[in-house]
Structure 1
């Protein structure tokens, strides 16, 4: 329960920063362009930036591609991550199956688990290669996020109470989201040999 609260507070904090640093700034620019004739030329650009920022915030809350299924959303995630830094790691998707929707809750949490595992790898592991692999079947999701980064001592760091106490909500949140949808989460890592985060979900209707 405390873990869930911490994760949600971290997400709310991120949303608040995005609104303050981007959307609010663009609104102030729009206000200035209306009040000051000399700034009127800035209006179109400020408007477009505001719309883009709000669309990104909405996408962060629930990616629009999830409306078409988990696989399209993962394709979009890889494209977005790859486009951040042309000098960044090679990021690829190797997932079999059409990946139809598994329901809004399962789709969203499975997507967020993969997304957060990727973000953790990019921020902490400094990999050269990051791969999302697995299979999407009508009653099964198996997804693994693998990197060739620096890795870490799993036994020493996977005490969830310590993770929450030290505000490591990213890693703790993976377990929280997996539990919500009744999935299994496994993390395999060691210093110097990369990390693999594996999500396995079975349909309860099977």
Structure 2
């Protein structure tokens, strides 16, 4: 099978979700080093612009400018530590009187990582701690902290800092929501793929069962006839062997067509799927197994969608197979009744049951019910009061499920 078919059938290895930029196992060394370089270079320019009003940069200031990005290395694994740590470093930097500048970038990055990984309260608390500390330093402790003679902080600047904090939280929240939406959509796609794979396996099993069970039942009966008549009636035994050859060839053709469709799922089927127009072939195959089939049509026949036509054919095929395998009847009656918006299929035999297999819960009956249910229809099967057996299926001419009755024409399950 092709890789695509293998994946559709669910037998291939599960796909692993690609590690995103906030995967816990990755350490963001490159971005942290880049941010450290920006803070160092940007703070030197800010120091020149604020010379005389703020404390010049010294080794301790450089250490603080590097400490923030160093904490960001752990922001994927410890987002709360990164948020509170960068906020604390920035607060110490501002409290020491060093120039305003890109030291806040580490805080933004740390709080952003906390929000997008689901720790929004930690990010909010870290920013609240930073802003509260800045207010205390700028309006109460400024006389005791460097630089000497520093005036109280400007409220306009304090409000500006509060505004960018709120903006940073808002942007982080938008990114978090978008990431959750993408994760949810991907999970839904994967669930849909798993569901389609399960349905695909079920349909493949159902198709193979319907094709093989009918043909093998006919072959089994003919083989028994051939063995019984091999000595007493060689000509009749020859006829039975010819029937076995014909039936097995037809079964191989259907199986090959199904497998060809699986190997090339993107190609159109090479032959149309069987439908009710092939009922005479079913009757002929059943006749080879010693079962005479009478068919009757009531109402005005209408063209069925490919999916419904295939389901109707398979239901009749499986019902006749059950008669051959589990009943001693030599006559089966098939009635098709086209009503308003519904096709009713009834298959009767007069019995008696031979006890060679289940009469009400085998895979064949399960498959019939599944086919009908996929189209919004029903199947009832069970013994009649007179000792016979009846299969009664009702299929809507327009499926109750979107697209169910309009399967592409072909043997693809």
Q: What's the TM-score once normalised by structure 2's chain length?
A: 0.32
1:13-69 CA distance string (max 9 Å, x none)? 776xx9xxxxxxxxxxxxxxxxxxxxxxxxxxxxxx8xx937852388577663xxx
The residue number in structure 1 matching 2:380 is: 186
Decide whether the 8 Å contact of 2:308 with 2:397 is kept in 1: no
More strand per residue: 1
The residue number in structure 2 matching 1:57 is: 253
The residue number in structure 2 matching 1:107 is: 309
Deviation at 1:199, TM superposition (A): 0.7
Deviation at 1:73, TM superposition (A): 2.2
Q: What's the TM-score once normalised by structure 1's chain length?
A: 0.59
Report the count of equivalent residues. Answer: 156
Deviation at 1:124, TM superposition (A): 0.8
Decide whether the 8 Å contact of 2:274 with 2:310 is kept in 1: no
The residue number in structure 2 matching 1:9 is: 205
The residue number in structure 1 matching 2:325 is: 123
After superposition, the CA RMSD in angstroms is: 4.1
Partner secondary structure for residue 105 of structure 1 = helix
Decide whether the 8 Å contact of 1:65 with 1:73 is kept in 2: yes
Determine which of 61, 70, 79 is the counterpart of 2:284. 79
Deviation at 1:120, TM superposition (A): 0.7
CA distance in structure 1 between the aligned counterparts of 2:280 and 2:347, rounded to whole angstroms:
14
Decide whether the 8 Å contact of 1:89 with 1:130 is kept in 2: yes
Decide whether the 8 Å contact of 1:130 with 1:145 is kept in 2: yes
- In the alignment, structure 1 segments of 5+ residues that lack a partner are 19-48
Determine which of 340, 349, 352 is the counterpart of 1:147. 349
TM-aligned CA distance change 1:80 to 1:136, over 3 Å: farther
Determine which of 111, 121, 134 is the counterpart of 2:336. 134
Deviation at 1:106, TM superposition (A): 0.4
Determine which of 285, 297, 314 is the counterpart of 1:95. 297
Partner secondary structure for residue 121 of structure 1 = helix
1:129-175 CA distance string (max 9 Å, x none)? 2110131357321110100112499xx975xxxx4xxxx31121111
- The higher radius of gyration belongs to 2
CA distance in structure 2 between the aligned counterparts of 1:99 and 1:75, rounded to whole angstroms:
16
CA distance in structure 1 between the aligned counterparts of 2:206 and 2:308, rounded to whole angstroms:
21
CA distance in structure 1 between the aligned counterparts of 2:399 and 2:204, rounded to whole angstroms:
29
